[in-house]
Structure 1
Amino acid sequence: MQDKLGTILNGDCIEGMNSLPAGSVDLIFADPPFNIGYKYDVYDDQKAAEDYLQWSRDWMQAAHNALKPDGTFWLAIGDDFAAELKMKAQEVGFHTRSWVIWYYTFGVNCKNKFTRSHTHLFYFTKDKKQFTFRAADPTNRVPSARMLVYNDKRGNPRGRLPDDTWIIPPDVEQTFALRPQDLEECYQPDESDWYFPRVAGTFKERAGFHGCQMPEQLLGRIIRTCSSEGEVVMDPFSGSASTLVVAKKLGRKFLGFELSPEYTRLGTERLADTAVGDRLDGAPEPTMSAPQTWPKKKKKKQQLAKSEESPTAASTDVFDCLNIATVRLDPQGRFTQVSDLYCQMTGYSPQELTGGMTPLDLDHPDDVQVNAHRLQGLLSGKGTSKVDKRILHKDGRTVWVRVSANRITDSDGNPVEIVGVVEDITAAREAEEKLRRSEERFRLVANAAGDAIWEIDLPNQQVFRNDVYARMLGIRPEETAGSWDWRLTNINEDERDRVGESLKVALDDPETSHWAADYHMRSAAGEILFIQDRAFISRDEEGNALRIIGTMRDMTEIENAQKEREQLIRRVQEAQQLESLGILAGGIAHDFNNILTTILSNTSYVRSDLPKDSPHRELLSDVEIASARAADLCQQMLKYAGQGRQQKTQLDLSSEISKVAPLLSGTIGTNTRLRLNLHPGLPLIEADTSQIDQVIINLIINAAESLNQEQGEVVVTTGQSHVSASDPDINDWLPRPEPGFYVTLDVRDTGCGMTPELIQNAFDPFLTTRLTGRGLGLSSVHGILRSHSGSIQIQSDGRSGTTFRVLLPAGADGSPSGTDYVSDTPAILIVDDEPKVRSAAARILERAGFDVHTAVDGMDCLAVLRSHEKPFSLLILDLIMSQMDGTRTFEQIRDDYPDIPVLLMSGHHESSAPESNGHQPVGFLQKPFDTEKLTDVVTRALETQHSTEERI
């Protein structure tokens, strides 16, 4: 895009605009062929109507794609297809803002219809609310008719926006427009001079090589109003290059397309002769300081004669009516003539001023040096001067004036005099200063407040937000400008419609003056904030909403504190419930054991006295079997209560599972595949073997039963993990495991999953979802783990599968059961330039109990190796990186750190792994990987390295 700016590209505009990046242009002005048979070099200007409309739709669609979301599109078109092209523009997504009539002089004579003296100018925007329209820019405003014609002081001194019928005179000192009804006398077409003139063949402005050329003053109004300096202006039909010339003069970036090679060449030459800051051709630059009036028709000849006699005499009365003073200076800068209004403005008499005084004698002392330089420049050759400055009244007070001066020369170019107009702008400056101070006070108060303050001017869609708003959302203060729509897009999707609809209802109801909403909003950093929003709606007499001002309070900490409080209460209640149930179960079990003891002892006593052939012996055996089952039930109840008999020893969890699991093959059914992923070398745990066996059996059977006799899988995985205080709560109603190292047992099934309600009640005794279940399996698991200072967690999405994770404290000495490489926590360095891959791998390995460090590329890897005090046990190196790839890094590591084992990883095949001087990596990790795969590959790599070191 940048290489195309500042040029006219020769070729079809549709192809050209489609080649631009979407949303790259701020303003498009298009003056396409009108399809009236005009000769435009290589253009076909006489298409069939249907073909012309389809072609027009195609190029407008391309323009829509190239335009920024807040961009503006202007279309100039004749009568024949004006309405049709307006509809086509709306079809492709443009929104109509204005239908402007350009009413020009030197109309096109017609033989069998009225002379055509206007062109249609359509003003479109890409978005209904987001667009550039610089209404406050004084160069885009025109004088108030109240002040200009009727000398009514109630008129806005800043003027007004022009009407949508542009009738602008060709030879005046500005580009603003009056309506005919604003003039003292009805306009006469044969003598009128209030139009934008069409650039006729005799005009100096005419480029000379194109039949249809837009006036620079008209283009200047559009570009000034709908774009800012430095923004991109594009013309798809460059033609005479006038649009691009004006854009360049006004300090905009520009780009044009032109089908004719000849027009492209001539337009490029014209641009080369144009400089930024050049005056626009036609009328001089717009000004609000010296507006033009149009004399009555019946006095025009009289005034013309008077003006020839004295250049300023005819205009003095006019300027006095406009509250504007006039002065004349000689070539030495001395006053030679002053109006009465200037004398009132300064407090000096005409005799005092014309008695040798210069404007510098009236200037504020602080400004004399600057103004002297400016006056000297005007006297020595600069044609005009416009400046706002301070002068001192005779009584000593300061008066602010706006001066516009012109240097008049004779036929030889020698200065004759300087003619100037002076306007007292003291009241306006004081009002601006009061407004500035008021706005500054409001801004200080708003920023001093702890809440974010916002305000929307609804008719103009102008938005104010204070600095607290920016800090709250983590954005820069200059980014706070925008519409209400912008804020809605940052509200949580689930709440967005509710908040937007509630505001709309409040704004539409004339009786509503207040609005309130609570919602969650996303900050720039992705943090979810809980916002309390309150606002007041200001309305006009008819009840229409004019503005809304409100405050936003960040209630996130309060909401989080409330959630934490609720979680704490729920945990306490759950703990009390579990404790109460445990006490109850323990008490019942103890008492019931006593009863069973009496039954069993007496039954065995009686049975021993009976003859062997007694029929009662079988009956007593049934009593003994039933009593034994009841005793077993008591043991489970005691386990739930954490009071079961325990005989703790040093236990290798992986080894124990490998012994117990095969015994369950007949129990879990043929439809269930049991897969073991047991990691050797885990730290030993101190546990009761029989109770741990019970945990293993209960969890595997529970997982198998969740498959409901369907084909499925139960995966049993062991590992190790480090728990820190900052780890998130998986099941917030269960006690958190204490920080430290744990041996883990994961039992995952592919069953139907568990709902949140079922998960929360999973460990309640006698709760079961099985017809044959007793509801004591999981509750006894929970009791056994409590007695072993362990913990259990459940994860399920409620639809597919559940994972139970058991955490048992690692032995006090941390000794592994087999190999000893984990006795000292292995330090692992992960090198990958993809942040998400890097962080995901780090999380997995940290949970597995490793000391993990990361580096963003090869250079960073070498820096970490140099700064790390103890050697790394393993380095995981990605092969494909933008800065110093894995191959080069591997070479460097082998040269500088040959003892560090390297595990290579890549999304490509293992064959892409490099060899370095005979040195091989300890393994290869294929992307993508999951938790089990990464942990398994890393463990095997460390074991391989440990075995190698032992052999050495």
Structure 2
Amino acid sequence: MRVFGIGIDSALRARMDGSGHSLGYFEDANSAPLAEADIVIVSAADPAEPLSRLDGARRHGVPYVLFAGSGDALARALSLGADDALLPDGRDLEARLAVAEHRIAVRKTREPMATLAEHLDALDEAPMGYFEVEADGTILHCSDSLARLAGYESASDLCGRPVVELYADPGERHRLLGHLALRHSATSYPVRLRTRDGGVRHLMLSTVLHHDVVYGLAVDVSETHRVVEQLRRSEELTRRILEAMPGGVVHVRKDGAVLRANGEAQRILGLRLDELTQKYVLDFEPETLLGDGSPCSAEDYPVSRALATGEPQPRTLIGVRRPGGGVSWAVFTAVPVKDPDTGETSGAVVTFVDITEHRAAQEALAESEERYRRLVEHSPDPMAIVSQDRLLFVNAAGVDLMARGDLVGTSAMDLVPKERVPEVRAYVDAALEGKRVGTVQADLVRRDGGRVAVELSAAPLVYQGKRATLVVARDIRARRRAEDELSRLQEKFQHTQKLESLGILAGGIAHDFNNLLSAILGNASLAKLHLPDDSRSVRHVAAIEKAAQQAADLTGQMLAYSGRGRLRSEPVDVSAMVAEMIELLTSVVSKKAVVETRFDAPGALVLGDVSQLRQVAMNLLLNASDALDDHPGRIVIRTRLSQLERRQLAESYLDDGLAAGNYLTLEVSDTGRGMDANTVAKVFDPFFTTKSTGRGLGLAATLGIIRAHRGAVEVHSKVGEGTRFSVHLPTSDGLSQIVAEPAAETTVGDASVLVVDDEPMVREVTGAMLVELGYRCQLAASGSEAIRRLRADPADVDVVILDMTMPDMNGVEALAALRAVRPDLPVVLCSGYSEAEVSDRTGGSLANAFLQKPFTTSELIAKLQTALGR
């Protein structure tokens, strides 16, 4: 503390820093020492003179203490305005100086505050107030304006009340006091004032703590706080809106500097906000691409154009290379930001939507569409797109299928037969509705009227923005042909199986029947040998032989049907054969029939049995005659050479894998009643006949004979127009005539014959015939018995007649066993089956001769002589 005094005792100098001066020194109001003094101490007996002379010091506001000479002088000094007074003895000087200093300090503090408070009170509407608060929180003084801020009428309503009642949050007062304890003052300290009605006002305090009293000014900033809070909320709402936006948003200044960016912008551009706010628009130029992949100049950015022109910019596709790799594709737009006062462009806002995935999907879709477009255009199956019956698209295969290039724009239903239009239209409409329609077969009509068999499948699609139907028409002509061929083959296979089964049945019946006929015919022959020529019984025996022979012919037809009849292989000129028997043929047909012959293949040879081929010609001619139903008509017998392909042979009867090549065709046609398809299918069945009489074996036997000759037969017939049978026999050029076996003469034998047959009647009659002819004979009922007899005396047997079909040991097994005993033993195989059948079973090289049941005496002698080599 700087102290200046007048006549100050030297004892005071230890405490005071200053010097003594006369009163004249202080009379100058501008005296520098006086202006610098904190306190002035005056020593005088009478205080009146120094106080008046020190008026300048008082004007400077410098407090002073007067050393009075007496108690009266002390009291007078205080009444004249001295800050304190002391007696000259200096007692209690330290304490009195402390009190003086305190009073001086209080006055220094209160006087400006009081002056300010007086000015504030003068401004009744001012949103601020003055206050003094004791250390215990009691309000010492406040301005009326502060009281009104708190909702009271005047300061008197608040003075003496705890200030804590005015705090909305009592903790705020404790924090303020803590701040003042450290710094002794606070400027612009925010607190919330609780008003009388329970409301809250926001105040800004400027305070000072001095000697446990808080002095302060309070400014009402509630409106400012409201505006600031509203602005903060608006900013927060804006921030949330920007963050919630599906696209990126960037705000840039006029110079292109980035000010702010939302999170989506950061993600798309691959940069954090702190990285973005360090960039300018031009910084992105090296990293941007146009939609075609070429570099994008910064001048082409929508934001650059918006800043330059001050106008909103349209959508622009730009790719941005990301720092971490890859390219983000986005559609950018920009709008300028205008200064509200000047209207000048102050910046711009850029928005952009990430279409990276969408672009990738579009590229994939375009690639997929291109791939499928190529597949559709180059598909081998015809494809068309149909909408409301109109053809919107037809691929190349469809153009080729329909043989016309003007299909687009025409009605799809014009390609469908009229009778199928409702069905096909309903099918296409159902597919358009998304229903599962599967496939449907239909015919498409070409411009020339021809039809194409197709299998349709359909599915809905959108084509050129329209709901449409994709229709695939698979050409199934080849498949239908294959299916028809398969069906034909299946029918033929079933027919062949039926024929085979019937053939086996017929062959078995013929075999058993031939055993019976062998006994009948053999016994008749023996009886005839023992009868005198003039015996009346000879005629009856002859009738038995004739009946038995006719029965044998019937079994021959049954064997012929089975394809296992007796076949003599020799070259046959079919044209010559028909010419030779034409007179006989015409004699057996209807008298109203006109028979014509046409030989277009004279001299052509086939390898076969002439007698059986004659039977074929006879049966076909008789069938043609019967077809005329005793009405006038024409029958044509024709021979010709044919070059047949596998297809034609496959469609015929009896296609047993016949090879394509040259065939001789015997054709018999008539103009009779004809047959329907059902009758044609059964015409070769055994015992099937359309006549009231007849056994139904004629054509069945014909089929068997043709089969045995490795031929084929075709039948073409139409009801009311007639029928044509075409028999195809493989030609045999260059073959020489095979001389038929001469008939053996009946001679007396001298050999020992072993007859082996399980049928007692056949065995006994054969033995009797041999004995009658002079042969020595042994009989065996089985193969085992025959082997035992041969082993007993191998030299006693000259030849063996061996039945092929026996229960315990068949003829093949017995033959092998007999040859094992005697390898050179002559053997004649005997069977009710044909020689061809037996040859198939034995391999054709085991026996010395074959004897077909039933047999005559001459046939028996001939086979024995052949086996014995005579």
Q: TM-score range by the shorter chain?
A: 0.3 to 0.5
**TM-score, normalization by structure 1:** 0.36
The structure in which a higher percent of residues are helix is 2
**TM-score, normalization by structure 2:** 0.39
